[in-house]
Amino acid sequence: MPETTPKGLTRLAFGGDYNPEQWPESVWTEDVRLMREAGVTMVSVGIFSWALLEPAPGTYDFGWLDRVLDLLHDNGIRVDLGTPTVVPPVWFFRAHPEALPVTADGRRYEFGSRGAICHSNADYRAAAANITTRLAERYGDHPALAMWHVHNEYGVPVSACYCDSCAAHFRRWLARRYGTVDAVNEAWGTTFWGQRYGGFDDINPPRLTPTVGNPAQALDYKRFADATIRENFRAERDILHRLAPGVPVTTNFMTALSQCDSIDYWAWGREVDLVTNDHYLITDGRRTHVNLAMAADLTRSVAGGAPWLLLEHSTSGVNWQPRNPAKTPGQMARNSLAHVARGSEGAMFFQWRQSRRGAEKFHSAMLPHGGTDTRVWREVVGLGASLDALREIRATRTVADVAVLWDWHSWWAQNLEWRPSADHDARERADAFYEALYDRHLTVDFAHPEADLSAYPLVVVPALYLMTEAAGHNLTRYVEGGGTLLVSYFSGIVDEHDAVHEGACPGALRDVLGLTVEEFAPLLEGDTVRVTGPDGTGLAADVWTEFVVPRGAETVWTYADGPAAGYPAVTRHRLGEGTAWYVSTRLDTGGLDAVLARAAEDARVPARPGLPRDVEVVRRTGESGSYLFAINHTGTDAKVPLDTPGTELLTGETAAGRIEVPAGAVRVVRLDG
Ligand code: GLA
Ligand code: ZN
């Protein structure tokens, strides 16, 4: 088997965060014995161990880590080695209290948890560079080393700091970006409410103000905070590249979790050698496997379509949500393999052995408190065998049908205060459109609004409030060239500075949609409207309506009631070789599907009527072959049609015409030919 990334792995990655420092050494031998029993191929080590590795300034203790790495290597387990910079030791903060971050209302966090760091702080930067250098020098050529795991989940729990050194750093960032303070005044529209700045020194972070602050300032501060955190990642990465050439560097992302909305993963995806992601099921009553699929698709997209790796998920319940259900039997494997179907080169967990102490002792693990005579352990061993049976799929790529536009900057801007309706939530629209595509069994790539879209027959724009002029032109070109576009309301409204595009809304999309919006007419809480189609079909909607004036577009559905009664609700615009659809209200699930069906027809994307709801079918293809993953999330056995006969890799059976997928099970077919 050829090696891929991580270095030295010839199978899919399977393992988890391994924190042997929480246990006496006598436990370590049992750990590796059980890791072998389960088929573990890689573990992440040392993520939180700075205080042990450097117990006092300039005093190091690497002995225990030497022994851990040697032990793992002797047992054939690869190591994803952490730089422990997410938690500096307490001595560091006692010497440099100003390295603890400050909130927008001026309070400084205390030591005693994790991730409390001011990323502008020069002392933190120096100390992080030092411990990273020491680790790279000591372990850069250790035979167990497969990958570097820099820091942990950058951006949480503190996404921005508002201290004085951040203020100074922000001014430098602004000076580089804008050149003059007048350019800042212009971009931020500071004439409004008399906020004009005379010099860079007068500018502060968007700290506590009595009412809404300048939105463009707030948006730039998000960009600044993200860029500052990225500077620190790059600094560590460059040290590791220099001292350990050939060893890939990653940091674990949280691409689709709304807990982490402060990181622009489009930018970060370009900085890492391998995109890795952490994903946890959010139990808020919605279908968790749909959110999982979305996270995996987004992660793959951030990786530019290349294979990526699920670095953390859970074997069963987590412990940080209000209610933390255990996974049902079989759900863990289904979750793991659903990530693999969508491009992950394995499935890793937080964590190997469940902790007895500390904040996460009620979080599930691969090896539970109850040991090996447990359901979770038996399922872990089973998953190890399944992943081993799938090893030939490494380096193949997931095949997508359609694209959904996604942009963190737009999300940041949209979430600022004083918008037409508090009930409109851009992320909710993204989830809803994704779910509608999922239910049509279409695999989604996410794309930046300025990316080349010509490969996709259908591009969906859920609610992309901020859109540059360049993005608008990109979409016009895409439609003129034959593409089909489906756009939700409140898209293309402002430019990169949160300034409304000149002229009637939606400025960036007027031409491609062939319409203008004269006025937004959001609804009161609980109010609904009906929209009717040409054949009399009625659809239900809420939250948002608009006064749409067609300027080239045809009206397909019309508001039957509500403030915009008689106005177009859903329109279709033929432009060049393509078609652009516009949905001006928040349709319910059935309504969204009805419009999507029409757009999909225009785009000629495949309809997959033979597939039951919640039976997920995804393909990976590459040099080793073409593979069909069929994941049955339902409690009923299902049949999935096969265009080509093939061999099922988990059972070894041959299949032709169709494959039976038992309730809750996964099947992976290597297609012949
Ligand atoms: C995150 C962290 C881990 C752990 C898990 C628990 O992903 O990276 O250290 O806290 O959450 O779910
Ligand atoms: Zn700071």
Q: For atom 4 of ligand 1, which residue has the closest CA?
A: 350
Instruction: Identify the pLDDT of residue 267.
Output: 98
Q: For atom 9 of ligand 1, which residue has the closest CA?
A: 350
pLDDT tens figures, 448-476:
999 999 999 999 999 999 999 999 999 99
Note the ligand closest to the C-alpha atom of 319.
Answer: 1
Q: Could you give the angle at the alpha carbon of 120 between the alpha carbons of 110 and 93, nearest 5°?
A: 30
- Ligand 1 midpoint to CA 313 (Å): 8
For 324, phi then psi, to 5°, come to -120, 85
Q: Which residues are catalytic?
A: 153, 312
- Name the pLDDT band for 576 (thresholds 50, 70, 90): very high
Q: For atom 3 of ligand 1, which residue has the closest CA?
A: 350
- Ligand 2 midpoint to CA 167 (Å): 7
**Alpha-carbon distance 200 to 203, whole Å?**
6
What percent of the chain is modeled with pLDDT above 90? Answer: 96
**Alpha-carbon distance 643 to 625, whole Å?**
15
Supply 533's token pair.
Answer: 């189609």
* Average pLDDT of the segment spanning 231-242: 98
pLDDT tens figures, 522-537:
999 999 999 999 788 8
pLDDT tens figures, 117-146:
999 999 999 999 999 999 999 999 999 999
Q: Is 563 exposed, middle or buried (0-12, 13-18, 19+ CB in 10 A)?
A: middle
- Name the pLDDT band for 4 (thresholds 50, 70, 90): low
Do the beta carbons of residue 102 and residue 163 sit within 8 Å?
yes
Angle, helices 375-389/25-38, rounded to nearest 10 degrees: 50
Instruction: Identify the pLDDT of residue 607.
Output: 86
pLDDT tens figures, 620-650:
999 999 999 999 999 999 999 999 999 999 9
- Name the pLDDT band for 3 (thresholds 50, 70, 90): low
Supply 297's token pair.
Answer: 């698709």
- Ligand 2 midpoint to CA 136 (Å): 27
- Ligand 1 midpoint to CA 81 (Å): 16
CATH 3.40.30.10 corresponds to the domain 402-603: no
Instruction: Identify the pLDDT of residue 52.
Output: 98
The number of the ligand 1 atom at minimal distance from the alpha carbon of 280 is 12
The residues lining ligand 1, judged by C-beta closer than 6 Å to any ligand atom, are 152-153, 278, 280, 312, 318, 350, 360, 363
Supply 413's token pair.
Answer: 């801007």
Note the ligand closest to the C-alpha atom of 364.
Answer: 1
- Ligand 2 midpoint to CA 115 (Å): 13
Q: For atom 5 of ligand 1, which residue has the closest CA?
A: 350
Which residues on adjacent β-strands are paired with residue 367? 353
* Selection from 571, 638, 568, 47 nearest residue 348 by Cα: 47
633, HSE (Cβ side, Cα atoms, 13 Å):
20
Note the ligand closest to the C-alpha atom of 315.
Answer: 1
**To the nearest whole number, what is the mean pLDDT of the chain?**
97
Instruction: Identify the pLDDT of residue 144.
Output: 98
Supply 423's token pair.
Answer: 């009930």
**What's the alpha-carbon Rg for the chain, to the nearest Å?**
26
Mutate which of 281, 312, 315 for ligand 1? The one with the most ligand atoms within 8 Å of its CB, which is 312
pLDDT tens figures, 343-377:
999 999 999 999 999 999 999 999 999 999 999 99
Q: In 390-490, which ranges are continuous DSSP H helix? A: 408-414, 426-439, 469-480
Fold of the CATH domain 615-671? Immunoglobulin-like (2.60.40)
* Selection from 521, 577, 569, 574 nearest residue 544 by Cα: 521
- Ligand 2 midpoint to CA 132 (Å): 21
- Ligand 1 midpoint to CA 459 (Å): 34
Q: Tokens 């389960």: give the residue.
A: 38
Q: For atom 12 of ligand 1, which residue has the closest CA?
A: 318
Do the beta carbons of residue 573 and residue 580 sit within 8 Å?
yes
* pLDDT higher than threshold 70 for residue 2: no
One fold for both 402-603 and 615-671? Answer: no
Mutate which of 281, 324, 350, 360 for ligand 1? The one with the most ligand atoms within 8 Å of its CB, which is 350
What percent of the chain is modeled with pLDDT above 70? Answer: 99
Which residues on adjacent β-strands are paired with residue 444? 402
The number of the ligand 1 atom at minimal distance from the alpha carbon of 320 is 12
Give the domain ranges of the chain.
13-90+129-159+229-391, 402-603, 615-671
Instruction: Identify the pLDDT of residue 534.
Output: 76
The number of the ligand 1 atom at minimal distance from the alpha carbon of 252 is 8
- Name the pLDDT band for 673 (thresholds 50, 70, 90): confident
Q: Is 91 exposed, middle or buried (0-12, 13-18, 19+ CB in 10 A)?
A: middle
Note the ligand closest to the C-alpha atom of 102.
Answer: 2
Distances (CA, A) of 409 to 149, 225, 514, 579: 26, 12, 26, 27
| pTM, to two decimals | 0.98
Do the beta carbons of residue 612 and residue 638 sit within 8 Å?
yes
The number of the ligand 1 atom at minimal distance from the alpha carbon of 278 is 7
- Name the pLDDT band for 1 (thresholds 50, 70, 90): very low
The number of the ligand 1 atom at minimal distance from the alpha carbon of 152 is 8
CATH of 13-90+129-159+229-391, one of 3.30.930.10, 3.40.50.2000, 3.40.1260.20, 3.20.20.80: 3.20.20.80
* Average pLDDT of the segment spanning 89-115: 98
Q: Could you give the angle at the alpha carbon of 252 between the alpha carbons of 283 and 630, nearest 5°?
A: 55
- Which three-class secondary structure state does DSSP give residue 485? strand
**Alpha-carbon distance 205 to 372, whole Å?**
52
Q: Could you give the angle at the alpha carbon of 403 between the alpha carbons of 400 and 407, nearest 5°?
A: 130
* Selection from 260, 232, 312 nearest residue 43 by Cα: 312
Instruction: Identify the pLDDT of residue 403.
Output: 98
* pLDDT higher than threshold 50 for residue 586: yes
